[in-house]
Structure 1
Amino acid sequence: MKSPAFRAAGAAALSRAPLAAALTLALCAFNVQAQEATSSTTNPSSDSRHTTGSGLHAKDLDAVKVTSSPFGSTADQLSRPVEVLSGEKLDEVRAASLGETVAGLPGVQSSNFGPGVGRPIIRGMDGPRVAVMADGLSSADVSTVSQDHSPAIEPFLADQIEVLKGPSTLLYGSGAIGGAVNVVDGRIAETPVQGVTGRAETRVDFGDKDGQTSMARFDAGNGGLSIHADGVYRNAKDYDTPEGRQANTFIDNKSGAFGASLAGDWGFIGASVSRFNDSYGNPGEPGNLAEGERGVHLEMHQDRFEVKGGLNDPWGEGSGLRYSFGHTTYDHTEFEGDEVGTVFKKDANEGRIEATFAAANGWKTAVGVQGSDSTFQAIGEEAFVPKTDTKAIGVFAVAQNTWGRFSTDLGARVDQIKYQTETGLSPKFKPLSLSSSFGFKLNDNWRITANLDHAERAPAEEELFADGPHIATLAYEIGGTDLQKEKANQAELGLTYRNDWMDAKVSAYYNRYNNFIYLTDTGEQWYHEEEDEYLPIRQWTQGDATFHGFEGEATFHLANSASTGDWDLHVFGDTVQASLNDGGNLPRIPPGRFGAEFRWEASAWRASIGATRYMKQDKVAVNETETAGYTMVDAHVAYHIDAGATSWEVFLDGSNLADQDARVHTSFLKDDVMLPGRSASFGVRMFF
């Protein structure tokens, strides 16, 4: 059965959003008072339409500072492949999960275990090969342990999101061999805040989705001391698909933070505390509500404390010192109906110190130390990994220079990782990473880049020590205690072109893995007495593998007129293939895709409509089913109003407008779970 008409569904959703309405009214009243106090007519700095580097065009996004670069470089200055989401573009793609938020970038897709779980997949790699970070420190959750665990990251509170494609172990260690996603939240101000700024948003979903999201952010300062507060509330009911209701796909999320810092020309120092609460259903085990049986659902809780600081020019002009420390307490409970099934707990500490130097001959260098200490344990039916203490420390150095049209980045890192389990196993690993990147400007329009990387990864806890039923994957998993380091050697070539009417970039990469770790069927079965069923026994093992792919995008600036506005056409495409060298494809590799988006922006309006074609995925592993192709059609329209020190934006977003049957090939649940059908979101944003 399809959902009711958009109008009726929208009215029903609005009637269930008293928190959103109250939040908006309260912020309106607060902002009126702030305007009267300041009598300012300056557009708010929080407004993405009036912030340098957050505009529409690719060349503007490439000018945004990449915080994950130790030298404060912009995306277009780096030879390594980096994508940055910020400003209006980030506003248009914010979603309930981090993976879904970044999934529109070339080379990036999302895992799927229902709408509550979406972890980024970069060039076919995910899980323990892709680091998820908040302001440069690990998110310290357990999303890599199981596919039904969500990252403890709230994309609605991000200032910008940086996606590092390809091996990123140089800066972030063993868990970033496939890439990294860094969410910049701005909870600790690094530069002085003057006055009061902030933003708020409330939106309702209707059509085949039924939910609402409200957020608010507040920053205030006197030019020295700055304070910050933010919060998000999200509630979504089970969604509909073109084939009917997808049971147990609800989400209920609450998160927020407070931060304070002192900043000036000398640098900054500050601290923040945050809390992340998340509850969501597992559509793979929906239960039967008609018989009073509730499905499996997860309740997650994380408390986080961070300290960050930095000194400007401590050893002369161009030098710097940055340090950060985070302590995280995490737990989540998996409920089977109303009964507690398994409890996962993790306590983690992580610290990082980074010093940069600038020499008279043009060389910029950075050296740093990163260390972490964590304890993970699972209690209950699905405790397939024993209690494990993990200690890691890494030392790295990078250098950068430019000679006319030529630029280079060089670096090396060595880590030591030690595990200690309650079963007595205590393996140690010493991953080594080496990297070199080169860029050459052929002329004012063309630039070519080349990257050579050697990266190593220590096996993760679940790969080493698993021994028990893993219900999320419906298998009995056995770890490989004799697993060796995973080693990757990658080469990549990139080409960019820019002029007044076009911005384009393409890249091709080839990655050869030695001792690639993967889960294979043994052909044996294990009897699961509680469910009265047999589960396949799967073993973590190793073999050589090859990943290679291509990605590209181009934005054509068709017209730029004061009377008719700016007209742009954006096209993109990507593909990745992954196989074992001994024969056979690796499982759950994202399908190739291509798409186009037509955009228009005038003084107050902006609108876009686009389509992305996901190809059929028939290059599958043994016992893996194929996935049919589908086309997703999306549209956005927004109206922007500047009113002195306040800006308002009313928007309407549409998704899957063609009402396609869509199944995510990277999901373990793809044969049972579909994406939502035709849906829309209506909302209001306010900047002050």
Structure 2
Amino acid sequence: MPSIPLRRLPLAISLAIALSLPVATASAHEAQDPTGAGHDHDPTDLARVEVRATPLAGTADNLVRPVEVLTGEALDAAKSNSLGETVDKLPGVQSSYFGPGVGRPIIRGFDGARVQVLSDGLGSGDVSTISADHAVSIEPFLADQVEVLKGPATLLYGSGAIGGAVNVIDGRIPETTTLAPLEGRAELRAGTVNDQRTGMVRLDGTSASGNVVFHFDALHRETGDYEIPGFAESEAAHAEHEDEADHEEPGIAGILPGSAIRTDSAALGVSWIGDRGFLGAGYSLFNSRYGVPGHAHEAHDAHEEDGHEDEHAEEPHAEGGARIVMDQRRSEMRGGLDDLGAFESLRVKLARTEYTHTEFEGDAVGTVFDNTATEARVELVHQPLAGWDGALGVQWSQREFLAIGDEAFVPGSDSRDAGLFWIGERAIGPTRLELGARHDRSRIDIDDATAIGPDRDFDTTSLSAALRWDIGEDVHLSFGLDRAQRAPTAEELYSSGMHVATGSIELGDPDMDVETANRAEVGVHWHNGPLRIGASVFQVRFDDFVYLADTGIVEDGLPVRAWTQHDARFNGAEAELDWTFVDNASGAWTMRVFGDVVHAELDGSGRRDVAIAVPHGDHDHHHTASLANDGHLPRIAPARAGAELRWETGSWRASLGAVRYMEQDDVAEHETATPGYTLVDAHLAWHADTRSGNAWEVFVDGSNLLDEEARPHTSFLKDLAPLPGRGIEFGVRAFF
């Protein structure tokens, strides 16, 4: 038997566990459930999927506020290396991109600090909003359900959710007993475009007494640099700089240096379940090592000549290239009680996260980001009061952030936030009305406030009203009005220096005011048997919208970008059709069509002069930048149109889809247009249930089947790092 190299040992262990567990549990399941009735692998009915992002019980179909849910087979098909890529085919949702290890959700054109990423109702605890190269510390492959709240979710989660929220349910702290004493799932997959190898396993079990429930999960992923069609540098960027004496050649074709990843994740949770509630605790870790595309060139050439692709995949960097090592440790406690007299239920959540992000230039440490976050949340659902079902809650968080290194463009800070909210719902004839209000008080203390700017306090208040009108049994209209406020973040207020990831000098404004958004939305939904149609239009008007403007100033060869404020307006629309047009002996044939568009512009006229002070050694270089008060905002997601044909019969299911990303030529000053592109994908899976009650699934997934050059307009690296080329992933899943 051939030996396993030491560098492959973690992957080998993951694969061995994943393969052996279904076999080991087969005999036990045969004795307990010979019919296999305890395992249901049928497609999930979204009309019955409870949305956990809101304290008021509701499903994906009957919530008043707009929500999208991924679960079951749809989630299995969508799972990717990043959370943003996992949800980016939902209407109105796209992904940022800074290489395959970094992708944050963009909801209706809003990204960064306006979209809250949650782990079952609590913040992820990372610093992915500070810089475009910081990854979200949530592993999509371990998720049971992903919920996307579109429109302001500030009522529930504070000012960081002014553009929406993505809530990932992973069940790491059990709240109910399992159907069988031991159950779980495992998956192995491999990919061609980047030599991917992924193994994951999950176990859930209940003690003989029925009161103690445990959860365990683990994942290991390795990839090499991924293949691309053509060169990494775009033709437009190369043509712009080809006359410069120090400009490099576009590099080798066919592969993107610095795009390898290695990720490890694991968690253990234990709960005591009683008749009226539960109390549980959990501990998890997440470690990811990934290259930064656009910052590694020379070493890759040497690597290619030596032909050591496997060794390169094991460590996602090369000498002289830029890479990131991210490590997070998270401790959580959760508890709940039901039937408390005046209250239906009480839920308490507490998490403490210790996060470190280290940036390497070759073998030398460049900058270290440390973040320690503590968050607590209490939700009380009260009994009906004057016809209103409602919930009130309080949320508190603290973040201690420190950046160390010559390239630390954001100062250390201590941020605190406390919020109080109420949300209620009442049926009035054929309508259901939802009202809500929240007030937050936040404070940011800076380590060197006298030199950078003053410490800041902010008060934000958000109000919301939504109405659902059931016109008939199959059709309903929805209306939404919101006034939401957001406090500026530390990076928007105090950035001052070179931001290596984006290749720019980034400057904050410590005198910024609170950002206020006023949203109006109208939607229509029709569900009649095999046909489901939904569409919505919305407008959001911002007072003092915060954005990163390119000033047109160049300092030391780098563009100078400044955080600034001005009124802005977002207009958008999205639509989706899902139609099972044939369901007979040949199988169920379903067509899905969707599209979305958003236009984002500054709401003003003329120009304004802004004083710019660029740090330069022990003094500043002073400039005056002329910024437009009108025109388009930068890095807004392009319009899209997509279609998918799905087929399912017996043990087989398959799909073929395409998404057209339109050219984005509605660009801000000093921003270039991005060509459109089409991404075609396909999926095939075969499912088999065993007599023991277990199940197996073999799958093949294809992505970018046309091998098209695709450059997301939302990416700072669009001219340096295209999306992967044609790729095939294949593997096996086990349910037991």
**Structure 2 residue 537 is the aligned partner of structure 1 residue 508:** yes
C-alpha separation in 2, matches of 1:471 and 1:548: 33
Q: Residue 83 of structure 1 aligns with which residue?
A: 68
Gaps of 5+ in 1: 1-13, 528-533
What TM-score do the two structures reach when normalised by structure 1? Answer: 0.93
Q: Does 23-32 or 452-461 show the bigger shift? A: 23-32
C-alpha separation in 1, matches of 2:482 and 2:70: 25
**Cα contact 2:30–2:693 (8 A) shared by 1:** no
**Structure 2 residue 572 is the aligned partner of structure 1 residue 549:** yes
Indicate which of 211, 235, 240 corresponds to 1:224. Answer: 211
Gaps of 5+ in 2: 1-7, 231-253, 303-317, 605-629
1:213 to partner: Cα distance: 1.0
Q: Residue 664 of structure 2 aligns with which residue?
A: 617
User: Structure 1's 360 and 668: CA in aligned 2 closer, same or farther, altered over 3 A?
Assistant: closer
1:672 to partner: Cα distance: 1.3
Q: Residue 426 of structure 1 aligns with which residue?
A: 455
Matches within 5 A, 1:125-274: 125-194=110-179, 195-206=181-192, 208-222=193-207, 223-243=210-230, 244-274=254-284
Indicate which of 300, 314, 322 corresponds to 1:296. Answer: 322
Matches within 5 A, 1:430-445: 430-445=459-474
Q: Residue 42 of structure 1 aligns with which residue?
A: 36
User: Structure 1's 419 and 16: CA in aligned 2 closer, same or farther, altered over 3 A?
Assistant: closer
**Cα contact 2:46–2:59 (8 A) shared by 1:** no
- 1:93-135 superposed Cα distances (whole Å, 9 cap, x missing partner): 1000000000010000000000010000000110000000101
**Cα contact 1:192–1:264 (8 A) shared by 2:** no
C-alpha separation in 2, matches of 1:449 and 1:456: 23
Opposite residue 327 of structure 2, the aligned amino acid is: H
Partner of 2:719: helix, strand, or coil? coil
Partner of 2:20: helix, strand, or coil? helix
C-alpha separation in 1, matches of 2:30 and 2:587: 33
C-alpha separation in 1, matches of 2:11 and 2:385: 59
Matches within 5 A, 1:321-332: 321-332=346-357
**Cα contact 1:228–1:260 (8 A) shared by 2:** yes
Partner of 1:24: helix, strand, or coil? helix
**Structure 2 residue 732 is the aligned partner of structure 1 residue 684:** yes
C-alpha separation in 2, matches of 1:365 and 1:108: 29
C-alpha separation in 2, matches of 1:633 and 1:44: 37
1:645 to partner: Cα distance: 1.6
C-alpha separation in 2, matches of 1:105 and 1:111: 14
Partner of 1:32: helix, strand, or coil? helix
**Structure 2 residue 698 is the aligned partner of structure 1 residue 650:** yes
Q: Does 563-572 or 285-294 show the bigger shift? A: 285-294
**Structure 2 residue 337 is the aligned partner of structure 1 residue 311:** yes
Partner of 2:25: helix, strand, or coil? helix
C-alpha separation in 2, matches of 1:321 and 1:678: 49
Q: Residue 609 of structure 2 aligns with which residue?
A: none
**Cα contact 2:93–2:106 (8 A) shared by 1:** yes
1:287 to partner: Cα distance: 3.6
C-alpha separation in 2, matches of 1:646 and 1:232: 21
1:224 to partner: Cα distance: 1.6
C-alpha separation in 2, matches of 1:15 and 1:569: 44
- 1:183-236 superposed Cα distances (whole Å, 9 cap, x missing partner): 001011111224111000000001x33211111000000322100000111101
Partner of 1:489: helix, strand, or coil? strand
1:469 to partner: Cα distance: 0.7
1:140 to partner: Cα distance: 0.9
User: Structure 1's 62 and 586: CA in aligned 2 closer, same or farther, altered over 3 A?
Assistant: farther
Indicate which of 92, 104, 122 corresponds to 2:107. Answer: 122
Partner of 1:170: helix, strand, or coil? helix
1:642 to partner: Cα distance: 0.4
User: Structure 1's 234 and 449: CA in aligned 2 closer, same or farther, altered over 3 A?
Assistant: same
Partner of 1:619: helix, strand, or coil? coil
Q: Residue 582 of structure 2 aligns with which residue?
A: 559
Q: Please provide the CA RMSD for this pair.
A: 1.6
Indicate which of 73, 78, 87 corresponds to 2:58. Answer: 73
Opposite residue 183 of structure 2, the aligned amino acid is: T
**Cα contact 1:99–1:121 (8 A) shared by 2:** yes
**Cα contact 1:193–1:225 (8 A) shared by 2:** no
C-alpha separation in 1, matches of 2:18 and 2:34: 21
Indicate which of 719, 722, 734 corresponds to 1:671. Answer: 719
User: In percent, how many aligned pairs have the same letter?
Assistant: 48
User: Structure 1's 340 and 15: CA in aligned 2 closer, same or farther, altered over 3 A?
Assistant: closer
Opposite residue 625 of structure 1, the aligned amino acid is: T
**Cα contact 2:261–2:291 (8 A) shared by 1:** yes
C-alpha separation in 2, matches of 1:15 and 1:343: 29
C-alpha separation in 1, matches of 2:562 and 2:85: 30
1:32 to partner: Cα distance: 2.6
Partner of 2:48: helix, strand, or coil? coil
How many pairs does the alignment contain? 657
What TM-score do the two structures reach when normalised by structure 2? Answer: 0.87
C-alpha separation in 2, matches of 1:269 and 1:658: 51
1:393 to partner: Cα distance: 0.1
Partner of 2:680: helix, strand, or coil? strand
